[in-house]
Amino acid sequence: MANDDLWILGINMTKFGKHPDKDVVDLASEAAMAALADAGVTMADMGVLAAGNLMGAAAGVGQQLQKQIGQTGIPVFNVANACATGATAIRTVIMAIKAGECEMGLAVGVEKLSGAGMLGAGMGVAASDTWTPTGRFGAVSTLEGKTGTDMMPGVFAQVGMEYGHKYGGTSFELFARISEKNHRNSTLNPLAAIQKDMSLEQIMNEPMIAYPNTRAMCSANSDGAAAAVIVSGEKLRTLSSQQQKRAVKISASVLTSDPYEEGCQILPNVNTLTRLAAKQAYELAGIGPEDLDLVELHDCFATAELVHYDNLMLCPEGGAVDFFNSGATWRDGSTPVNVSGGLESKGHPIAATGIANIWEICHHLRGEAGPRQIEGAKVGLAHVIGLGSACGVHILEKSGL
């Protein structure tokens, strides 16, 4: 165990869904205290706290959380980074430990989103009937009614249709089959917001949100929180054998944003920054996609899952359709994807998702995933992406201690 090794010592999440009797501090406290208990440590052991929250980012959720779980005077970072907020909170703690400022830290992501309606409209810029390509908002003017849409369902509908136009093989039914897989997986996850097996016919007959994604093929806005305790390898060596055995190694932690591309100043590009993050993560971990035993990726819509098979290099470039049709992504396939039910079923409380995806991987690597356990899982990848844009990829490995 090298001195610069990083490990997840404890991790937990609340049930995702509707929590009308709890606010963000209640939910964050529940997840944080459960993660500390899972790690076998207390708030007094933490050297840093990173609290992710998007919708109420200005409220200082981290400091509010401290008042409930322990005010110890440690530095608090309040993090907001689109759908990658939770992954960014993890990265913040990792960087503090790597810098030698502490040996252990707590990352939390929390959101109240049930009933929030459609997200992503407008970019905060007023629409107008004319467009002048000058000034701050010239080249990034709102797209509504002009060149397309900047509402999330529309953006990711375009992403899927573009992939099909470029490589062929996609269809309404194909995207619905991806959703069918995830809804079936959700029935084995007691923390999922929607635990309902839906037939292909049911999914295709749901209300159309943005072709080819029906309502059942879209992520569910939910309330929820997730938290993780991260520890250095040097500190882990001083802990009990049981803590060492359950710790999960962080083999790679990568966060990227969009490189400049002329096209993506108009239409968001979810592909390039994901592919760059995946490439860096595989190099850091010293593995390839063929070594992964399971993947939790950001299926904010069924179309997104398909393109991310390709972006994460789970298949040859342009081969996502064949990869899915091979059965590889189902629970009994070679590379199970979103065995939690994915965002379409598990739910998507934005800031919590990045940590919740890691929670799912950790449970399989520990052998604690119950009836949805992927037997013999040793290596997993967790992925999130948020438009704005930010992408987080973490590769996790089973403890050999």
112 within domain boundaries: yes
> Where does the pLDDT of residue 141 fall: very low under 50, low under 70, confident under 90, or very high at 90 and above?
low
Is residue 202 domain-shared with residue 282, that is, in the same domain? Answer: yes
85-97: burial string, b at 16+ Cβ within 10 Å, e else: bbbbbbbbbbbbb
DSSP 174-234: HHHHHHHHHHHHHTT-TT-S------HHHHHHSPEEETTEEGGGBPPP-BEEEEEEEEEHH
Q: How far is CA 25 from the centre of its chain?
A: 21
Which of 230, 248, 266 represents a domain boundary (last residue)?
248
Is residue 282 domain-shared with residue 164, that is, in the same domain? Answer: yes
The pLDDT of 379-386, averaged and rounded, is 97
Quote the pTM value: 0.92
Is residue 90 domain-shared with residue 200, that is, in the same domain? Answer: no
The pLDDT of 25-42, averaged and rounded, is 98
342 within domain boundaries: yes
The pLDDT of 235-254, averaged and rounded, is 97
132 within domain boundaries: no
Is residue 191 domain-shared with residue 230, that is, in the same domain? Answer: no
Is residue 306 domain-shared with residue 244, that is, in the same domain? Answer: no
Say what percent of the chain tops pLDDT 70. 89
d(CA 217, CA 122): 23
* pLDDT score for 121: 46
C-beta of residue 44 within 8 angstroms of C-beta of residue 70: yes
* pLDDT score for 112: 95
87 within domain boundaries: yes
124 within domain boundaries: no
Beta-ladder partners of 83 = 81
Is residue 318 domain-shared with residue 232, that is, in the same domain? Answer: no
CATH, residue 283:
3.40.47.10
The pLDDT of 218-245, averaged and rounded, is 96
Comparing 57-66, 162-171, 174-183, 204-213, the range with the smallest average pLDDT is 57-66
Residue 240, token pair as written in the block: 């009990």
The total number of structural domains that make up the chain: 2
C-beta of residue 77 within 8 angstroms of C-beta of residue 90: no
Domain hosting residue 203, numbered range: 152-218+252-397
Amino acid identity of 213? N
Is residue 25 domain-shared with residue 70, that is, in the same domain? Answer: yes
128 within domain boundaries: no
280 within domain boundaries: yes
Instruction: Answer yes or no: is pLDDT of 154 > 90.
Output: no
Closest by alpha carbon to 330, among 342, 319, 318?
Answer: 342
Whether the bond between 340 and the residue before it is cis, its omega within 30 degrees of 0, is: no
Task: Name the pairing type of β-strands 104-111 and 76-79.
Answer: unpaired
Is residue 282 domain-shared with residue 385, that is, in the same domain? Answer: yes
pLDDT in tens, 295-323: 999 999 999 999 999 999 999 999 999 99
197 within domain boundaries: yes
- DSSP run (H or E) holding 390: strand 390-397
Is residue 69 domain-shared with residue 210, that is, in the same domain? Answer: no
Q: Say what angle helices 302-311 and 272-285 make with each other, to 10 degrees.
A: 50
d(CA 391, CA 209): 25
Is residue 264 domain-shared with residue 162, that is, in the same domain? Answer: yes
Is residue 277 domain-shared with residue 181, that is, in the same domain? Answer: yes
* pLDDT score for 56: 78
Instruction: Answer yes or no: is pLDDT of 130 > 90.
Output: no
User: Which backbone phi and psi does 111 adopt, to 5 degrees?
Assistant: -155, 145
Phi-psi region of 367 (alpha: psi -120 to 50; beta: other; left: phi over 0): left
* Neighbour tally for 42: CB within 10 Å: 13
**Helical spans, DSSP H, in 44-188:** 61-69, 85-98, 152-167, 172-186
Is residue 244 domain-shared with residue 160, that is, in the same domain? Answer: no
User: Which backbone phi and psi does 344 adopt, to 5 degrees?
Assistant: -65, -30
d(CA 50, CA 35): 14
The pLDDT of 327-332, averaged and rounded, is 98
Residue 198, token pair as written in the block: 């839906």
Instruction: Answer yes or no: is pLDDT of 191 > 50.
Output: yes
Task: Name the pairing type of β-strands 224-232 and 390-397.
Answer: unpaired
> Which burial class, exposed, middle or buried, applies to 400 when counting CB atoms under 10 A from its CB (0-12, 13-18, 19+)?
exposed
DSSP state at residue 77: E
**What's the number of CA atoms in the CB half-sphere (13 Å) around residue 257?**
7
* Neighbour tally for 287: CB within 10 Å: 17
